[in-house]
Each structure stands twice: as C-alpha cells, then as structure tokens.
C-alpha cells in the first residue's frame, strides 16, 4: 500500500511538471517522464487501490442499483439483484460438490449468464475459474486440462462427446452439464431456440457413459437445487494476490499457457478504466462480442462493464459477420471488438447506407491486434457521417496484462497508427534488451510494462513466467511483451510488430513486417496484407520477406501481381521488397481477429 501511494504522489508531481505548472527536469525517457499523465485529471490519478475480491467489488459498486439491468441475454433482462442471487446460488452449489478455496473449476462455456455467475461465485468462495474455449477440438481441450488438472468441470452440453474420454483420462470428479439457453424463460427455452437439446435427451444419448463413469455427472438444474441445502460459510475474506481466474494464451509455440490472474489484477484494470475518459458509464449498453475465455472478454467485456453499472449484452456465439445487424438493432453505447468486427462493420451494406444514425456510440473500442490502416480510416469516416463524436478507440494489450495497456480514449490522443496512451497506473518502457536500458522517445525497442494488473504468472509454469516477467535495474518487475514499438514525446504508443516476426536478412539487416505491410496497404487494390519471413534460398543463413495479399475483386490475380509488384518496386527500399506475392481471397484470422501468420507459413510449406 505504501508503494502504491508513493506511485500516486509521483504521478501527481509528474503531471504538474508536464503541464508546466512547476519547473523541473525531464529526461526524454518515456517510463521516467510518463508524458501520458497530462491527459488525466488529478482525481483520476488519485484513485486508490480496491483491496476487494472481484465479487465484493461488483456488489459494493451496484448494491444501491439492484433494480437496474445488469445482463441482457437473448432479449431477457437480468437485474443486478437477480445477478447477486444467482451468484450466491452457484457459490452454494460449488461448495456442495466440494470445491475448496484455491481449487480450480474449469468452465467450458460460451458467453452466457451462467458463465458470469460461475466467475463471481468462484471469487466469492476463493476458487479459481479456469476458462476454456468450447469450440476447441478434443486434442485442444486436453492441452487446457493438462495445465490446470481440475477436479471440477462445468461444460456445455454440445461438448459432451469431446470430453467423454478426457474426463476418465484426467480423473475429473464432478461434471456439470449445462445449456447455452439455461437462463431463458421456458417459452423461449423450449420453443424459440433452434437445436435446443433437453436434459432428458442428453441423458438418453449418453446414459451408458454417465452410469459407468467413476465421475459424478449432474445437470445444471440439479447442481443448483442440491446447493440450496448448503448452510456453511460462503464468502471468503479478501486476501491480496489471491488468484481468481485462468485464461489461456497460445504463445509463440502454439502450446497454450494458463495466465493466472488475481482479484487485484482484474479490479485494478477496472479501476483504471473507471478513472479515465473512457465512456464506461452507468446505464450505458455494452455489447459483449468477445468470448470470456479470452482475457479481453473477461476483464473488459464482463467485469469492468458490470462494475461500472452498465447493461451488458451477452452474445453466446462468436459471429463477427452479424455485428452490423446487432449494432443497428440495439444501438449500443460501447462495443469492445476485434479488428475482425470492425473490418466487417466497415464493409457492411447495412452500415454504409445513407443517413445511418451512429450517434449513440460513446466508446467504439478496438483491441486484440493492430487495426488495418484502411479499415481505421473507413470506420472513422462512417462514424463521423453517422454523427458519432468519437473516432474508433484503438487499444493495445495482452492477456498477461489483463488485456489492456493503452487506449485512444479521446480524439486528442487518437492519431492514425497509434494505439493511444497508457492507463493511469500503467507505465510503458521501450527497452533495449542487449544494453539492458530504457530507450528515449521515438526509439524502437521492446515494449515492456509495469502495472498493478500484470498477471501473477503462468499457472504451474515458473520457467515460462520468468521469461516474460523480469526485474530491471530500477528494481521493478516488468512484463516483456515481445512487441516492438516506440513512444512519442506526447506519450502515444506505436506498435511496429512482434520480435518473433522480425525478418533478419543474411547480411544482418532487420526487416519489420509492419513497415512493409503499411506501405503495401497504400496500394489502391490491396485490402489486407501480411508479410512473413522464409529461409533465404540463395544464402546459408537469413530470411527474405514474402507477402500474402487480399485484393479488390475486380482484378485478376495476374493483373494484381503486376500492379502490386510495380507499386512495391517504386515505393519500398530495395532490401525490404517482398521476393514473392501470394494472392488470397481472405487472410486467415485467429479467434480474436488477428491475422494468423502461423497458418500462412503452413500454407507456404504446402505450396
């Protein structure tokens, strides 16, 4: 707490210095000067630490507003009093099946009210909610289970077959089977939802497995009903740095790692967003398009929005192509989407009609990956025509930092190509790993982050944790992001690319794919582009760049190749020019909308 308060005092002093209210020296080093602090008010910088569980923080912020709507799911409105009631019921049910403090509960669900109840119930009883992707293959699910080795599993009914062998193999003791429409009224549950499978149907299909298994299977309704008899102690007292959630990241190897987050991590991110110009305001409507098994969805889409008293619309199925329809139908004030969502928004005939009203947007946020420059320009044009007072609010973050490092929270800090400024208690350093020193403004280096919402570590993997969280000469622990970037004197961060994506030629010259991609994007026929490195066929060492490009449909591949090649030869420095171009209909994307360069490299191998 003492260090926390010292940081607040330091930030207030630096703010006065940056605004010219007091005189003193500045160093020209971003993490020492912290030029972004001038965009915050004194009150925002003075916000203290929360020191509560995520459940208690949610409750305390909304206990005076229990009749307000908390969650909207398939047109059903769940008020805060019902949210708290359901959390308590789930907490009792978890205690009844034997979930202990510090124990992992694996949750394999889409965005549904039940997934929210389970998260806060785990916080309430001191357990850890381990979120995994229900669309994964059996092999992918096994990789997740190998990380946390849970005794308890809450799974989607449609995942039954994928888990049948894994449950026995991993000795999972308690399995709760639930439906994505569990929370809906009976008339909607039974009549209006396509492909709804009843508990009886599931039992009839799988009764042999359920009877013969050593595991204890139960349906969600029975799970809740059994919990009604629990009358012991329910809510655990707050403890600093107690873990509350695991969300998974693929990392550079494709092998998932479990990012372990504490109550403090999630609350500190929420605290920083609440105390910033970001328009997360009580009664505003947020569309939760990002899955909760992605850190961005859990931290911003669920916890922050609910703590802020917003109405959170849950969308169970990740379908970016339906976003324009959702936006125009429900008129959300806030949407935290991926590049894929906003690209679809920019191309949508619905959105591009004359006189479409978008004035309701107060926080059109983008995160998950760098936004294509053409898409950014088009989205801003659409928002402006639609009467929205804000440009698209790009952000930068990673799961290991609770998903958010910077954001363009207003037009003043929203420059083309920039991802905005750090949140108030977040410090960004541009670091030279070879010299082990902080760099100055406009110098390229690894983006490192120090903040109260940096993960506890990778669950059960100290070796990998120590590779990314390191102590610098200043005595502070810094998260090494693996991203290359720079900070301007105004405090804006620009992300240039990934260290692992840097292409090093045979002669040692470095090629940053982001720079080449940005130039190629200016070619009129190019819609999107990704540059990757392949082994140099003419030398024993080094790589050369190749480009994957999606183009305007009105050109043939042969025409496009010539136009793009001529454009590159006339605009790009010789050693940066791609040696080959591959024309694709669409570039492959990850679940959060990033261009999947691993898939592209596999495509090269096949070719």
User: Residue by residue, what is the 3-state secondary structure of 28-43?
Assistant: CCHHHHCHHHHHCCHH
| 287 CB-near residues (< 8 Å, 6+ apart) | 313, 315, 323, 326, 327, 330, 332, 334, 335
CA end-to-end span of the chain:
57
Query: What Cα–Cα distance (Å) separates residue 50 from each residue in 47, 58, 91, 241, 451?
Result: 9, 11, 22, 12, 14
The two three-digit tokens of residue 261, written as one number: 């987050």
**CATH number where 114 lies:** 3.40.50.980
Residue 69 is assigned to a structural domain of this protein: no
**What are the backbone angles phi and psi of residue 562, rounded to the nearest 5°?**
-70, -45
**What are the backbone angles phi and psi of residue 63, rounded to the nearest 5°?**
-65, -20
In this structure, the answer to whether residues 201 and 139 fall within a common structural domain is: yes
- Amino acid 186: pLDDT: 45
CA nearest 583: which of 533, 527, 513? 527
Residue that is last in its domain, among 224, 249, 274: 249
Give the SS3 label for residue 205: helix
Rounded to whole angstroms, how far apart are CA atoms 252 and 596?
12
| 227 CB-near residues (< 8 Å, 6+ apart) | 89, 90, 91, 92, 93, 94, 95, 96
- Amino acid 184: pLDDT: 65
| 368 CB-near residues (< 8 Å, 6+ apart) | 290, 296, 338, 339, 592, 593, 594
By the 8 A CB rule, do 270 and 307 touch?
yes
Rounded to whole angstroms, how far apart are CA atoms 286 and 71?
10
Residue 414 is assigned to a structural domain of this protein: yes
Residue that is last in its domain, among 467, 496, 525: 496
In this structure, the answer to whether residues 491 and 523 fall within a common structural domain is: no
- Amino acid 592: pLDDT: 66
Domain extent at residue 518 = 513-606
Determine which helix (DSSP H) or strand (DSSP E) holds 125, and give its type and residue range.
Answer: helix 113-125
Residue that is last in its domain, among 496, 526, 542: 496
In this structure, the answer to whether residues 372 and 463 fall within a common structural domain is: yes
452-481 in b/e form (b: 16+ CB < 10 A) is bbbbbbbbeeeeebeebbeebeeeeebbbb
| 241 CB-near residues (< 8 Å, 6+ apart) | 262, 264, 456
Q: How many CB atoms lie within 10 A of CB 258?
A: 25
Beta strands across the sheet bearing 526-535 = 526-535, 543-551, 580-583
- Amino acid 33: pLDDT: 98
The two three-digit tokens of residue 21, written as one number: 């209210």
Residue 322 is assigned to a structural domain of this protein: no
- Amino acid 369: pLDDT: 82
Rounded to whole angstroms, how far apart are CA atoms 87 and 109?
16
Query: What Cα–Cα distance (Å) separates residue 575 from each residue in 433, 503, 510, 514, 568?
Result: 25, 11, 10, 15, 11
Determine which helix (DSSP H) or strand (DSSP E) holds 275, and give its type and residue range.
Answer: none
In this structure, the answer to whether residues 153 and 93 fall within a common structural domain is: yes
CA nearest 529: which of 515, 551, 549? 549
Q: Over the Cα atoms of the chain, what is R_g?
A: 25
- Amino acid 589: pLDDT: 83
Which residues, in sequence order, are bridge partners of residue 406? 396, 422
Residue 118 is assigned to a structural domain of this protein: yes
DSSP one-letter code for 281:
-
In this structure, the answer to whether residues 41 and 182 fall within a common structural domain is: no
Residue 57 is assigned to a structural domain of this protein: no
Q: Could you tell me how far CA 525 lies from the centroid of its own chain?
A: 31
In this structure, the answer to whether residues 353 and 417 fall within a common structural domain is: yes
Q: CB pairs under 8 A, 24+ apart, for 227-234?
A: 227/89, 227/90, 227/91, 227/92, 227/93, 227/94, 227/95, 227/96, 228/89, 228/92, 229/96, 230/92, 230/93, 230/95, 230/96, 232/95, 234/88, 234/91, 234/92, 234/95, 234/124, 234/125
Beta strands across the sheet bearing 393-396 = 76-79, 69-73, 311-314, 285-288, 334-337, 363-366, 393-396, 406-407, 421-422
The two three-digit tokens of residue 290, written as one number: 């990002």
In this structure, the answer to whether residues 368 and 478 fall within a common structural domain is: yes
Question: Tokens 């569980």, residue?
Answer: 53
For the chain (607 residues), the mean pLDDT of every run of 10, in chain order, is 85 97 95 98 96 99 98 94 98 98 97 97 99 94 96 94 93 93 55 52 68 86 95 96 94 76 98 96 94 92 98 87 93 93 94 96 91 92 97 96 96 94 98 97 98 97 97 96 97 94 90 92 93 91 94 88 94 94 89 80 75
**CATH number where 28 lies:** 3.40.50.12780
Q: How many CB atoms lie within 10 A of CB 249?
A: 16
User: What is the pTM (predicted TM-score) of this model?
Assistant: 0.90
In this structure, the answer to whether residues 517 and 556 fall within a common structural domain is: yes
- Amino acid 473: pLDDT: 95
Residue 78 is assigned to a structural domain of this protein: no
Q: CB pairs under 8 A, 24+ apart, for 186-195?
A: 188/74, 188/75, 188/76, 193/74
The two three-digit tokens of residue 307, written as one number: 């703590």
In this structure, the answer to whether residues 591 and 479 fall within a common structural domain is: no
Total domains, the chain: 3
In this structure, the answer to whether residues 436 and 519 fall within a common structural domain is: no
pLDDT tens-digit series, residues 187-239: 344 333 444 556 667 656 766 677 777 789 999 999 999 999 999 999 999 99
- Amino acid 87: pLDDT: 99
In this structure, the answer to whether residues 41 and 90 fall within a common structural domain is: no
3-state helix vs strand vs coil in the chain, percent to 5: 40, 20, 40
Residue 267 is assigned to a structural domain of this protein: no
**CATH number where 521 lies:** 3.30.300.30
Residue 116 is assigned to a structural domain of this protein: yes
In this structure, the answer to whether residues 535 and 416 fall within a common structural domain is: no
Which residues, in sequence order, are bridge partners of residue 258? 248
Torsion (CA) 374, 380, 383, 387 in degrees, nearest 10: -150
The two three-digit tokens of residue 440, written as one number: 């100055």
**What are the backbone angles phi and psi of residue 62, rounded to the nearest 5°?**
-125, 5
- Amino acid 329: pLDDT: 94
């Amino acid at each position: 707490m003492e260090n926390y308060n010292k940081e607040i005092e330091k930030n207030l002093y630096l703010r006065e210095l940056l605004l010219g209210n007091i005189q003193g020296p500045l160093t020209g080093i971003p993490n020492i000067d912290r030029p972004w602090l001038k965009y915050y008010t004194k009150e925002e910088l003075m916000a203290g630490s929360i020191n509560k569980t995520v459940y208690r923080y949610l409750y305390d912020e909304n206990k005076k507003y229990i009749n307000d709507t908390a969650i909207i799911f398939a047109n059903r409105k769940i008020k805060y009093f019902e949210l708290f009631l359901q959390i308590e019921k789930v907490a009792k049910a978890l205690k009844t099946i034997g979930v202990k403090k510090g124990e992992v509960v694996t949750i394999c669900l889409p965005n549904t009210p039940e997934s929210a109840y389970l998260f806060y119930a785990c916080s309430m009883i001191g357990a850890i909610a381990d979120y995994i992707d229900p669309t994964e293959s059996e092999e992918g699910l096994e990789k997740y289970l190998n990380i946390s080795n849970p005794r308890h599993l809450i799974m989607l009914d449609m995942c039954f077959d994928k888990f049948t062998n894994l449950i026995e193999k991993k000795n999972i003791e308690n399995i709760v089977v639930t439906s994505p429409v569990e929370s809906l009224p009976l008339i909607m549950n039974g009549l209006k939802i396509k492909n709804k499978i009843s508990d009886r149907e599931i039992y009839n299909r799988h009764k042999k497995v359920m009877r013969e298994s050593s595991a204890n299977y139960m349906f969600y309704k029975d799970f809740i009903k059994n919990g009604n008899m629990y009358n012991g102690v329910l809510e655990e007292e707050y403890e600093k740095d107690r873990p509350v959630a695991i969300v998974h990241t693929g990392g550079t190897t494709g092998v998932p790692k479990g990012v372990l987050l504490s109550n403090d991590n999630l609350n500190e991110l929420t605290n920083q967003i609440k105390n910033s110009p970001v328009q997360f305001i009580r009664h505003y409507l947020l569309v939760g398009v990002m899955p909760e098994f992605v850190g961005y969805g859990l931290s911003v889409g669920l916890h922050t929005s609910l703590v802020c008293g917003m109405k959170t619309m849950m969308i169970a199925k990740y379908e970016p192509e339906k976003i324009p329809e959702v936006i125009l139908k429900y008129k959300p004030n806030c949407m935290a989407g991926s590049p894929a969502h906003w690209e679809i928004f920019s191309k949508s005939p619905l959105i591009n009609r004359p006189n479409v009203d978008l004035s309701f947007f107060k926080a059109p946020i983008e995160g998950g990956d760098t936004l294509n420059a053409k898409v950014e320009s088009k989205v801003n044009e659409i928002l402006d025509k639609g009467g929205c007072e804000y440009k698209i609010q790009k952000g930068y973050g990673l799961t290991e930092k609770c998903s958010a490092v910077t954001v363009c929270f207003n037009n003043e800090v929203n420059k083309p190509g920039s991802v905005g400024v750090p949140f108030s208690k977040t410090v960004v350093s541009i670091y030279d790993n070879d010299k082990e020193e902080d760099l100055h403004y406009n110098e390229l280096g690894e983006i490192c982050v120090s903040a109260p919402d940096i993960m506890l570590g990778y669950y059960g993997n100290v070796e990998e944790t120590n590779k990314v969280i390191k102590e610098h000469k200043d005595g502070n622990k810094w998260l090494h992001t693996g991203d290359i970037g720079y900070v301007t004197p105004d405090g804006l961060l620009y992300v240039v690319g990934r260290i692992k994506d840097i292409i090093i030629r045979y002669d040692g010259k470095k090629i940053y794919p982001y720079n080449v991609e940005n130039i190629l994007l200016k070619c009129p026929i190019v819609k999107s582009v990704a540059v990757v490195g392949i082994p140099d066929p003419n030398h024993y060492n080094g790589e050369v760049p190749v480009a994957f490009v999606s183009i305007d449909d009105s050109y043939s591949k042969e025409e496009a190749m010539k136009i793009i090649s001529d454009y590159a030869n006339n605009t790009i420095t010789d050693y940066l020019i791609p040696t080959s171009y591959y024309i694709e209909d669409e570039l492959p994307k990850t679940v959060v909308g990033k261009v999947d360069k691993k898939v592209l490299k596999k495509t090269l191998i096949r070719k």
